[in-house]
Amino acid sequence: MWRRMVLAVIGKLETGRIEFVEENGSTAIGEPDAERQTSVVVHDQRAWRRMLKGSTGMAEGYMLGEWDCDDLVTLATIAGENLGQLDRLRRRFRFLLWPMQRIGFLMPRTTRSRGKRQIAAHYDLGNELFSLFLDESMNYSSAVYRGGPEETLEQAQIAKMDQIADQLELGPDVHLLEIGTGWGGLSIHLARASGCRITTTTISGEQAELARERIEREGLSDRIEVIEVDYRDLTGKFDRLVSIEMIEAVGWRDFPTYFRKCSELLEPDGSMLLQAITIDDDAYEREKASRSFISRYVFPGGCLPSMAEIRRCLGTVSDLTIAWSDELRIDYARTLAEWRARFNAVTSRLEELGYDEPFRRMWVLYLTVAEGGFRSGRNSDFQLLLAKPQSRSLIQLAGKAPAGTSSGISPK
C-alpha cells in the first residue's frame, strides 16, 4: 500500500528519471530519455512508508540502510527540480501524516539557551571531524571559484576571503565585528592580510577554544578577540561587520531581530558583508513551516531565508542598503562536492573517532542533498554588501564588483 501511495504522487516527474529496483522487479518514473537518470535499490519495504514523511523519512531509511542509490547527487538534483511533487505528497496524505507534521508548524523560537544547544548539536560534534574534510583554513562555507577546473578548494577559499576583504575595504584603522567565528579561519586571514582589529563571537564552545588556539599560534592575539556572546547581546559600534552563513541558524521569527541588531552595531558610515544560503522565494513559507531532514538531523532549528525575506527585513527594520551582490550557487555545489569527496576518503578515520555507520551515511546524504539543492536551483548562496546611509564609500563599493557579479545601488 505504501509503495502505491508514494508512486501515485511522484510518478509523473517533470524532469529526470528514477528507477526503483526491488527483489521482485523494478519500476521507473519519468521520461526514458531524461537527461538526469538514477537508480534506487530498495532493500526493505519499510522504506516506502518512511517516504511519506518527506525528506526526514527518506533520510531515516537511508541512514538505516533500507535503500541505496547509484548516484545520490543526481537523485537529490531531481528531487530539487520536482519538489512541488513531493510537497503535494504530504498534502495529499495529510490525514495520515498530521501527527508527524504538526510539530513542524509549531517550530519553537530560537531563544538564547535553545540556540546554544542547537549550535552545539552540530558544531560541537568534534573539531577533528570537521578538520577531516574542510580546507586548511577550516572555512565551513561556500568557496568562490574564480580560476579554472584545476583550482583547489584551498585556493577558492582564499579567493572568497580576499573578496570579503576587498568589499569591506579593511585596513589597520578598521574595527571589524564578525558574527559567527567558525574556527577562526576568516578572522586570521583578514587580520593578517589587512592589519584590521577584529572582535569575533560564537556560541560554540569547541569552536571558540580552537579559534583562540589558532589565533595565538599565528601571533594575532593582539588583533583578534574571541568572545562567546549571543548576537542579540552584542554592544558597541563597529566600522565593519561580517557574518558568513550564520543567519541560517537565527530562526525565521528572528530574521528581523538579526538585521535590526546588525544595523545598530554599525557606525553611521559602516558596512556589512553578509553571506547567506537562501531558499527559492516561492518555497520560503514551506521552509518556515516544515521540519526537513537537515533541520531535524543536521542543523536543528535551522531555517533558510529567501532573498525576498532579506530585502523585506532590510527595508522594514534597518537602514542598510544592498550595494553589491555575488551569487555563489554553482560555487557552493562545487564546494560541497569537494567536501563529500574528502569525507568519503576518510571512512576509516571516522570509525577510529567513534562515528558509526548510520552517522556516516547521514553525513554523506546531508552533503549530497545540499549539493543537489544548489544544482537544481532550489537553493542558492549570496554575498551581499550592505551599506549604511552615510557610508563614504557606498558608490565606490558598488562599482567594485568582480566579473560575473551584480553591482550598483539596490533598493532595500
List average pLDDT for each run of 10 residues in the chain, which is 412 residues long: 80 90 93 95 95 88 96 95 66 48 54 72 80 96 94 98 96 98 97 98 94 98 98 97 96 96 97 97 84 85 94 97 95 98 94 92 96 96 95 60 50 39
Predicted local confidence at residue 288, as pLDDT: 84
**Burial letters 228-248, b for 16+ CB under 10 A, else e:** eebbeebeeebbbbbbbbbbb
* Residue 27: its H or E element: strand 25-30
**Burial letters 26-51, b for 16+ CB under 10 A, else e:** eeebbeeebebbbbbbbeeebbbbbb
- Domain 112-407 annotated CATH 3.40.225.10: no
Please identify which residue in the block is written with the cell numbers 569527496: 341
Q: Whole-angstrom Cα distance, residue 151 to residue 317? A: 40
Do 88 and 287 contact (CB within 8 A), yes or no? no
Predicted local confidence at residue 362, as pLDDT: 94
Q: Where are the alpha helices (DSSP H) in 72-228?
A: 72-81, 83-92, 94-101, 112-123, 127-131, 153-168, 185-194, 205-217
Predicted local confidence at residue 97, as pLDDT: 44
Q: With left for phi above 0 and alpha for psi between -120 and 50, is residue 21 left, alpha or beta?
A: beta
Q: Whole-angstrom Cα distance, residue 111 to residue 360? A: 30
Return all residues near 257 (Cβ < 8 A) that are at least 6 apart. 232, 250
Predicted local confidence at residue 95, as pLDDT: 47
Q: Which of 362, 270, 264, 256 is nearest to 311 (CA)?
A: 256
Q: Whole-angstrom Cα distance, residue 276 to residue 305? A: 8
Predicted local confidence at residue 410, as pLDDT: 46
Predicted local confidence at residue 98, as pLDDT: 43
Q: Whole-angstrom Cα distance, residue 407 to residue 252? A: 27
- What type of residue sits at position 319? D
Distance of CA 224 to the CA centre of its chain: 25
Predicted local confidence at residue 16, as pLDDT: 95
Do 40 and 69 contact (CB within 8 A), yes or no? yes
Predicted local confidence at residue 87, as pLDDT: 54
**Burial letters 188-225, b for 16+ CB under 10 A, else e:** bbbbeebebbbbbbbbbebbbebbbebbeebebeebbe
Predicted local confidence at residue 103, as pLDDT: 44
- Helices 329-344 and 153-168: crossing angle in degrees, nearest 10, is 140
- Cα radius of gyration rounded to whole Å, the chain: 22
Predicted local confidence at residue 234, as pLDDT: 98
Q: Whole-angstrom Cα distance, residue 318 to residue 255? A: 11
Q: Whole-angstrom Cα distance, residue 156 to residue 150? A: 11
Predicted local confidence at residue 96, as pLDDT: 47
Q: Which of 227, 149, 228, 218 is nearest to 190 (CA)?
A: 218
| Global confidence as pTM | 0.90
Four-CA torsion 337, 343, 346, 347, nearest 10 degrees = -110
Q: DSSP strand E in 286-397: where?
A: 321-327, 379-387
Parse the chain into domains and list their residue ranges. Answer: 2-106, 112-407
Predicted local confidence at residue 411, as pLDDT: 39
CA angle 106, 111, 116 (to 5 degrees): 115
